[in-house]
Amino acid sequence: MEIKYIIDTLFALFAMTLIIFMVPGFAMLEAGLVRTKNVTAVLTVNVMIYAVASLAFMLIGYSLAFGSWDNDGMSKWAAFLFQMAFVGKTINIMSGGVSERARIIPLIFFTVIMAAIIYPLVVNVTWGANFLAGTALDISSMHDLAGCTVIHSTGAWALLAAILIIGPRRRRYGKDGKVRVIPASNIPLVVLGALLLWIGWFGFNGGSVGSISSKENADLVALTIMNTNTAGLAGAVIVALMMYLKYKKFDITMILNGALGGLVSVTAGADIFDMYAPIYIGAIGGVIVVYGVALFDKLKLDDPVGALSVHLLNGIWGTIAVALFASDISLWAQIKGILVVGIFAFTSSYVVIYVLNKFSPFRANDEEQLEGLDIEECGVEAYPEFKRTI
């Protein structure tokens, strides 16, 4: 049917474009959350991830994931572009969580390996060619629409491995066990970035339905986008309520992380939930973020952007939620998927980061961190004309 082919190609290009807005989305969010002395470095990492990951995926990863470039339902170039738009996100999750102390060069090396091999292998066994088909490790029956496990957890497992190897930022955890609060340097950028991510999610989840060219699929795409949005709303509202009840203050960075947690949590099942389920799922996602951020600080896992809570915990929660809220999905299939992907993503990332770290150390030393990575890594200050208070 030529008309279906045309419409689904246009739809994939539309969805892809929305996802690409997540590139400035992550960049602005992270640039706003870190201190001014690390802003250029974090922006540079974001741009380099998009550039390097997309090329590596085009040249190696895509074939590894899907076995072939062929596509019948839409233009194969559109199908590729849509998948390509995903790749960098897993690495953004990882790089954001080690910002303010990780060097650019080893991050770029890791980007190549993640985009060319690790992530494509995860896709292979979930959405792709599935080399595990028929084996005991086959996890293709996991329902994971747009990647609670495939994208968010995978990236966040890599982040956990990175944090364990790289360690926290200088002076983040005092000898007395106290956590030093490091405030975000530019709140408008944080808000802009989070909202661009939110919009990108419509393309991410809606596009993952794969086709809009039948009445049923048109309904499914629209419901998916609605559910995605609803979970984000619920995550924001619940965290705002928690913040107000506890502190009588509306901490906007936490509220936005609540929204992002809600958006992650609905990503596995937005296509099969009814319109009310995302309210509960997203709200729980928001609660998870609040307690998660505190938990990881207690564990001295330093994560300046809250990525472990938003993407790891909610990636897991969202994958499980599919089974809890949709009766025909097996809880065991979901858990098995989480375990297989988690063990592979964490182990492989750990090994890669460990080895890379020997040749090209990830961690900027204390003097460099004190001065800020912008000068050291980029030679460019983010705001050279503004006098600083610190």
Q: How far is Cα 229 from Cα 115, in angstroms, rounded to an integer?
A: 28
Choose which of 52, 156, 263, 270 interacts with a copy of itself (CB under 8 A): 52
What x-and-dash track marks residues 333-362 binding a copy of itself by CB under 8 A?
------------------------------
Tokens representing 297?
Answer: 């600080």
What's the closest the beta carbon of residue 51 comes to a copy of itself, in angstroms?
4
Work out how close the CB of 379 gets to a copy of itself at its nearest, in angstroms, rounded to a whole number: 4
CA angle 341–201–27, rounded 5-degree value: 90
Identified binder of a copy of itself from the candidate list 174, 183, 245, 367, rule CB under 8 A = 183
Task: Say how many residues touch a copy of itself, by CB under 8 A.
Answer: 108
**Between 139 and 192, CB nearer to a copy of itself:** 192
Is 64 an interacting residue with respect to a copy of itself (CB under 8 A)?
Answer: no
Quote the tokens at residue 359. Answer: 């040749």
Cα–Cα nearest to 286, from 249, 338, 223, 238 = 238
SS (H, E, C) 91-114: HHHHHHHCCCCECHHHHHHHHHHH
Tell me: does residue 68 bind a copy of itself (CB under 8 A).
Answer: no
**Is residue 213 part of the contact set for a copy of itself (CB under 8 A)?**
yes
- Tally Cβ neighbours within 10 Å of residue 368: 16
User: What is the DSSP code (8-state) at residue 358?
Assistant: H
Query: Does the protein bind a copy of itself through residue 289 (CB under 8 A)?
Result: no
Q: Using CB under 8 A, pick the residue from 126, 230, 267, 348 that binds a copy of itself.
A: 230
Closest among 152, 59, 105 to 341, alpha carbons compared = 152
Residue the block writes with tokens 């293709």? 140
Q: Is 371 in the site for a copy of itself (CB under 8 A)?
A: no
Distance of CA 183 to the CA centre of its chain: 22
Nearer to a copy of itself, 79 or 125 (CB): 79
Is 31 a residue that touches a copy of itself (CB under 8 A)?
A: yes
Binders in 102-141 for a copy of itself, by CB under 8 A: 104-105
Tell which one of 164, 222, 294, 299 touches a copy of itself (CB under 8 A): 222
Site string for a copy of itself, 239-278 (x = CB under 8 A): -x---x--x-xxxxx-xx--x---------------x---
Rounded CA-CA distance 55/46 in Å is: 14
Query: Residue type for 198, please?
Result: W
Distance CA(120)–CA(66), nearest Å, equals 8
Q: Could you say whether residue 202 binds a copy of itself (CB under 8 A)?
A: yes
Judged by CB under 8 A, the residue of 64, 65, 74, 270 near a copy of itself is: 74
Among 124-132, 205-213, 332-340, 343-351, which window interacts with a copy of itself (CB under 8 A)? 205-213
Measured distance CA(381)–CA(390) in Å, rounded: 15
Radius of gyration for the alpha carbons in the chain, expressed in angstroms and rounded: 20
